[in-house]
Amino acid sequence: MSQLQKIRMAVIGVGALGRHHARILANMDGVDLIAVADPNAAQAQAVAEQHQTDWVTDYSEIIDQCDAVTLVAPTFLHHEIASNCLKQGKHILVEKPLTADVAQAQELIELALDHDSVLQVGHIERFNPAFELLCDSLTSVPRYLRAERLSPFPFRSLDIGVIHDLMIHDIELILHLTGTMPTKVEAFGSQIMGAHEDTVQARLHFPGGSIADITASRVNPEPRRSLSVWTSTENLTADLHTRQVSIQRPTLSMLTGPAMEDRMRAGEDVAELRTRVFGEFIETETIQASDEDALTAELLEFTNCVRNNIQPRVDGKAGLQAVQVADRVLESLQSNCINARLQAVKQKRVA
C-alpha cells in the first residue's frame, strides 16, 4: 500500500470499547473511517454522526469498501465475522480474546496466512507504558511472576467468564515475558453472578521451574491491575492502572559485603541496620511511565502493519497461545470451581 494512500477502515461493534476505536481512527492521520457497524441502529447512528461517517447494522454491507477493520463485537461472534473479513482479503484487528475456541483461533490464523492479511489481537496491555517500562527494566530471566486483575461486575461480556474476559490479559503478558508455554496449569475459582466463573486463582508452571500466579475477579468493589516479576537479582512491580513501576535490587555492597546475619553476630546495632536496609543494602526506585494512550498505540501499530505489510507484536499466534492457556485454566477449573449459586439453592432446600 502506498505511504500516501489512506487506509479505508471500519469498526464493527461500537459499544463501550468500539466507540473509542471509532473516535481514535476518525482522528488518525492516514486513515479514512468509512463506516461503523452495529446491530443496534441507534448506537451505530450516534457514533457515526459524531465522527461524520456512515453507519450500517449489517457489517457485510461495508466489507468490500474497506482495506481493514477492527472487530469489537462479543466474543462468540469473533470467528464468524473475522473469518468472513479474512476470506475477502481484509486486514483485521480482533479484540481479545481472539476467540473462545482454540480450533476457531487456529482457523483464523490460517485464513490470514492464505489471504496475506494482517491479523492482530487486541491485547491492549502489551501497549501499556508501564508494562513496556517493566520489560525494558528487566535484567534477567523471570523466575516468579504474580498478576492481579480485579474489577467490579461489568454487566457486559457476559457470554464469557472472567478467564476469557480479564485473566487472559495477564496470561498473554506472562507468556510474552517467559517466552514459552506452561507445562502444568492449576486453577480454583467460584461462580457467583451467573453461568460463568467470576473469580479465579491460577498457577502456571513453566519449563525450567518458573512459576506464575494469576488472580482475576470481576466481583471486586474497585478495580486493580498489577504485575510483579521476581528474578535472581531484582523484583519489579508494575501498577498497570497508575502506571508506576517499582524496582528493588540488592546493592553491590550488600552482595559483596558481609551477610546480614554476620553483621548481627559481629555486634552491629540492629536498630541502626534496620535504617540502612533500603538505600545502602537494597536500592529502590519508582518510575512513572508515560501517559501515552495504549489503545491509540495499539491502533497505530495496526495501521502501520497494514500499510507496510508487517506482523504486529500481538499477532494471531500470540492470541492463539493466550486462548490455549485460558482453555487449560478453564479445564482445571471444571473440578475446582465452587458454584455459589447452586450451593445456596441446595442449602435453602436442606433448610
> Are the C-beta atoms of 289 and 133 separated by less than 8 Å?
yes
- Looking at the structure, tell me whether residues 307 and 275 fall in a common domain: no
**pLDDT higher than threshold 90 for residue 158:** no
Structural domain that includes position 63? 7-124+294-313
167-192 per-position pLDDT tens digit? 999 999 999 999 999 999 999 999 98
CA-CA distance, 251 to 76, in Å (whole number)?
A: 51
- Looking at the structure, tell me whether residues 248 and 307 fall in a common domain: no
51 inside domain: yes
- Looking at the structure, tell me whether residues 63 and 43 fall in a common domain: yes
340 inside domain: no
How confident is the model over 333-344, as a mean pLDDT? Answer: 71
**pLDDT higher than threshold 90 for residue 228:** yes
333 inside domain: no
210-227 per-position pLDDT tens digit? 999 999 999 999 999 999
Number of domains in the chain: 2
CA-CA distance, 105 to 83, in Å (whole number)?
A: 10
- Looking at the structure, tell me whether residues 308 and 260 fall in a common domain: no
2 inside domain: no
9-26 per-position pLDDT tens digit? 999 999 999 999 999 999
338 inside domain: no
167 closest CA partner among 131, 214, 122, 204: 214
> Are the C-beta atoms of 135 and 125 separated by less than 8 Å?
no
> Are the C-beta atoms of 21 and 120 separated by less than 8 Å?
no
**pLDDT higher than threshold 60 for residue 27:** yes
> Are the C-beta atoms of 108 and 317 separated by less than 8 Å?
no
Q: How confident is the model at residue 334 (pLDDT cuts 50, 70, 90)?
A: confident
CA-CA distance, 121 to 163, in Å (whole number)?
A: 16
Least confident of 28-37, 229-238, 276-285, 304-313: 276-285
How confident is the model over 50-73, as a mean pLDDT? Answer: 98
Q: What is the CATH number of the domain that holds 99?
A: 3.40.50.720
- Looking at the structure, tell me whether residues 55 and 98 fall in a common domain: yes
78-102 per-position pLDDT tens digit? 999 999 999 999 999 999 999 989 9
| Per-residue model confidence (pLDDT) at position 347 | 54
114 inside domain: yes
**pLDDT higher than threshold 90 for residue 3:** no
120 inside domain: yes
- State the DSSP string of 182-207: -SEEEEEEEE-SSSS--EEEEEEE-G
| Per-residue model confidence (pLDDT) at position 340 | 61
**pLDDT higher than threshold 90 for residue 318:** yes
33 inside domain: yes
Q: At a CB cut-off of 8 Å and minimum separation 6, what does 292 contact?
A: 129
Q: Pick the more confident residue, 349 or 193.
A: 193
pTM above 0.85, yes or no: yes
- Looking at the structure, tell me whether residues 306 and 268 fall in a common domain: no
- Looking at the structure, tell me whether residues 54 and 81 fall in a common domain: yes
Q: Hey, what amino acid is at 222? A: E
